[in-house]
Amino acid sequence: MQTKRLCAVLISLLLPLTLAGAQSPAVLDRIVQAPELTVAQAAYLVFAALDKVGDSAEDEAFGQLKTQGWDDGLAPGSTVSSAQFAWLLARAFPLPRGLLGALFPGPRNAYRDLVFRGLLPADGDPDAALTGAEGVGVVRKVVQSLPEAHP
């Protein structure tokens, strides 16, 4: 029973991402099972949701992250914090920013903006690492919150 519920949750989290582009199920499985989301995995989730990455996974996505100048000096295998992930999402998607986020763009204010919009949990820690499953869930919420996601 527990396994069926877990499978149903994973399918509901992964389905919007697999419909957004041509992501490899093996890559998504590996990310969902990751105890801590890496910078390269975060890049893959974001660029896959934007349909700007193929099946070559994290290497290509991290290359695009560097090309955009969004790597912030982080190594591809390093753990991404909630605030860093929020900052990546804020730069990649047309998300509304609050006053502080508009005046002082950065990870902390991007984190606050996503918490305010209900895209990140209010009781979270901006310096805490996300699991892979949490990262997939946040990207799903962000994509669903976009105006073009609601015809």
pLDDT averaged over consecutive 10-residue blocks of the chain (151 residues)?
45 46 69 88 87 72 78 81 91 80 80 90 89 92 78 48
- Angle ∠(52,74,24) on CA atoms, nearest 5: 35
Give the number of domains in the chain.
1
Residue 92: what pLDDT?
Answer: 87
CB-CB contact of 48 with 17 (8 Å): yes
- Domain with 28 in it: 2-146
What values do phi and psi take at 125, rounded to 5?
-115, 125
**Whole-model pTM above 0.95?**
no
Q: Is 94 a member of any domain? A: yes
Residue 99: what pLDDT?
Answer: 79
Q: Rounded CA gap, 6 and 48, in Å?
A: 23
Residue 15: what pLDDT?
Answer: 46
Q: Is 45 a member of any domain? A: yes
Q: Is 151 a member of any domain? A: no
